[in-house]
């Protein structure tokens, strides 16, 4: 079996998808499977911090090669079609028996082209995100040969509700459960946020307003934001203006082991996102006994957080979310009950071994499917990429030259549109349920 991934490369990336890709690739390689990853490097990433000493490729690539994983990388091209052709060139060169493309429309376009030739591949829906639904509409049909994999039951149910023409299976993420868990501490009671500090999806503004209210209420709550993103500067400015720089700190991006160490020092984790799949940061925190205080949204989160048992569910109101944090800080009995139940849930249902076994079975099924075909898929033609003219304009967004208006305004508009879509869908769902 030869398993190939396609993903993007970004310095100091701690996203859930990247964590999952690297974890699965390493586990497969350690298990004797031939593994390769094709990375597309965004402009300016090659010489950023985290690259090799010579300013060349990222240090991650050398680390992966030492672990037996073949690494291929190309810079992002000027068009989606050119990036798709690079991905097809990689497939034709390395010739995997199973392909797992991630995140980038060019990777999915190449996978659909290869799938029509008979290469088995999986389209993994990592979140309840408008971009993923557009990807399924463009590349998830039966004729493109993909298998749909959802990280939560909610996403699979959404597939059925949308009338997608093929069944999807659920394979949740899994994380390592540390041998020890965090303890209750009232002074200080530490709250952590871990992830991209973005307004889009992660709602950094709600996170920081919640933390300002919680830490400024006269108690002993202290907060740490782990990660980076375009909204970090605005968040730091709000904290300084509130006079809480001593109570709320920003670490920037940290290596995974340092993130896990920070989690073991925390008592609560805060998440106020508009949409999610099954957040790995939340799973890692719960595995360490950190109690989640998370926004109640239609996603995989209700599969993890049962209000009052494994954590607290709150609205998008920062006052309510801050009250939830103060409630935990003031009630050791509630905190210990939620901490124990959260850790037990992840240990039994979302551990790394269980997730890996499910992925290994699926990959073996796909590998056997490909070997049973009358002829192999290679070489896959790449001169013309089928179906690009029918793709949504958003798929080509990253290849367009920047307009005169600021990147912040463009991102704000994208966030507003995504948020509106989710609210409309939620309202329609509630109406149907009523």
Q: Exposed, middle or buried, 407 (CB in 10 Å: 0-12/13-18/19+)?
A: exposed
Distance between CA 410 and CA 424 in Å, rounded? 21
Question: How far, CA to CA in Å, does 232 sit from each of 207, 225, 238?
Answer: 11, 9, 10
Alpha-carbon gap, residue 405 to 48, rounded angstroms: 26
Q: Strand pairing of 121-125 and 34-41?
A: unpaired
Look at the alpha carbons of 358, 360, 363, 365 in this order and tell me if their dihedral is positive or negative.
Answer: negative
Instruction: Output b/e per residue, 238-253; b: 16+ Cβ within 10 A.
Output: bbeebebeebbebeeb
Q: Which residues contact 120 (CB under 8 A, 6 or more apart)?
A: 97, 98, 99, 145, 147, 366, 367, 369, 370
Local confidence pLDDT in tens for the 434 residues of the chain: 999 999 998 766 778 899 999 999 999 999 999 999 999 998 765 544 333 334 567 888 999 999 999 999 999 999 999 999 999 999 999 999 999 999 899 999 999 999 999 999 999 999 888 888 989 988 887 788 889 999 999 999 999 888 887 889 999 999 999 999 999 999 999 999 999 899 988 999 999 999 999 999 878 999 999 999 899 999 999 999 999 999 999 999 888 889 999 999 999 999 999 888 889 999 999 999 999 999 998 778 889 999 999 999 999 999 999 999 999 999 999 999 999 999 999 999 999 999 999 999 999 999 999 988 878 899 999 888 877 877 888 888 888 876 544 555 555 566 566 556 555 655 555 455 45
Enter the tokens of residue 61.
């690539």
For the chain, the C-alpha Rg in angstroms (whole number) is 22
**Polymer length in residues for the chain:** 434
pLDDT recorded at residue 376: 87
Q: Is residue 102 within 8 Å of residue 3, measured between CB atoms?
A: no
Q: Find where tokens 């952590």 sit.
A: 192
Farthest CA pair distance, the chain:
71
Count of Cβ atoms closer than 10 Å to residue 232 Cβ: 18
Please tell me the distance from the alpha carbon of residue 320 to that of residue 399, in angstroms, as a whole number.
41
ω into residue 188 within 30 of 0, thus cis? Answer: yes
229, 203 contact by CB (below 8 A) = no
Residues 6+ apart with CB under 8 A from 343: 177, 181, 286, 287, 288, 289
Q: What is the pLDDT of residue 194?
A: 94
**Spacing of C-alpha 293 from chain mean position:** 19
- CA atoms of 173 and 351, how far apart (whole Å): 8
Q: What is the pLDDT of residue 52?
A: 37
Q: Reading across the β-sheet that carries 2-9, which strands appear in turn?
A: 70-75, 34-41, 2-9, 98-101, 121-125, 146-150, 168-170
């Amino acid at each position: 079996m030869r398993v190939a991934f396609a993903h993007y490369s970004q310095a100091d990336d701690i996203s859930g998808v990247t964590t999952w890709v690297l974890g699965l690739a390493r586990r497969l390689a350690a298990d004797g499977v031939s593994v390769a990853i094709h990375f597309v490097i965004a402009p300016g990433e090659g010489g950023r911090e985290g690259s090799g000493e010579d300013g060349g490729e990222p240090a991650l690539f050398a680390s992966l090669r030492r672990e037996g994983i073949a690494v291929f990388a190309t810079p992002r091209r000027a068009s989606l079609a050119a990036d798709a052709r690079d991905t097809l060139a990689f497939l034709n060169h390395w010739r995997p028996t199973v392909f797992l493309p991630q995140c980038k429309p060019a990777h999915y376009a190449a996978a659909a082209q290869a799938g029509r030739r008979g290469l088995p591949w999986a389209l993994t829906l990592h979140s309840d995100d408008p971009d993923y639904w557009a990807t399924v509409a463009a590349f998830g049909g039966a004729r493109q040969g993909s298998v749909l994999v959802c990280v939560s039951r909610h996403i699979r149910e959404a597939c059925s509700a949308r009338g997608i023409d093929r069944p999807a299976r659920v394979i949740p993420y899994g994380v390592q459960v540390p041998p020890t868990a965090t303890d209750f501490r009232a002074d200080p009671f530490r709250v952590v946020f871990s992830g991209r500090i973005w307004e889009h999806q992660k709602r950094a503004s709600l996170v920081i307003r919640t933390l300002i209210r919680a830490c400024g209420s006269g108690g002993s709550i202290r907060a740490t934001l782990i990660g980076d993103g375009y909204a970090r500067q605005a968040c730091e400015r709000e904290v300084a203006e509130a006079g809480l720089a001593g109570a709320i700190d920003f670490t920037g991006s940290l290596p995974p082991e340092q993130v896990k160490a920070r989690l073991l020092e925390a008592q609560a984790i805060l998440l106020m996102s508009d949409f999610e799949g099954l957040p790995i940061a939340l799973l890692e925190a719960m595995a360490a006994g950190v109690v989640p205080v998370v926004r109640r949204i239609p996603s995989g989160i209700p599969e993890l957080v049962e209000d009052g048992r494994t954590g607290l569910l709150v609205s998008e109101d920062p006052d309510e979310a801050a009250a939830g944090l103060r409630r935990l800080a003031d009630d050791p009995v509630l905190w210990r009950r939620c901490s124990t139940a959260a850790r037990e849930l992840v240990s039994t249902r979302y551990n790394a071994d269980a997730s890996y076994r499910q992925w290994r079975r699926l990959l073996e099924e796909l590998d056997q499917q490909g070997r049973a075909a009358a002829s192999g898929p290679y070489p896959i033609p790449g001169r013309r990429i089928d179906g690009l003219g029918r793709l949504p304009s958003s798929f080509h967004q990253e290849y367009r030259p920047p307009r005169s208006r600021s990147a912040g305004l463009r991102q704000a508009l994208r966030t507003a549109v995504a948020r509106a879509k989710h609210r409309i869908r939620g309202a329609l769902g509630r109406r149907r349920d009523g």
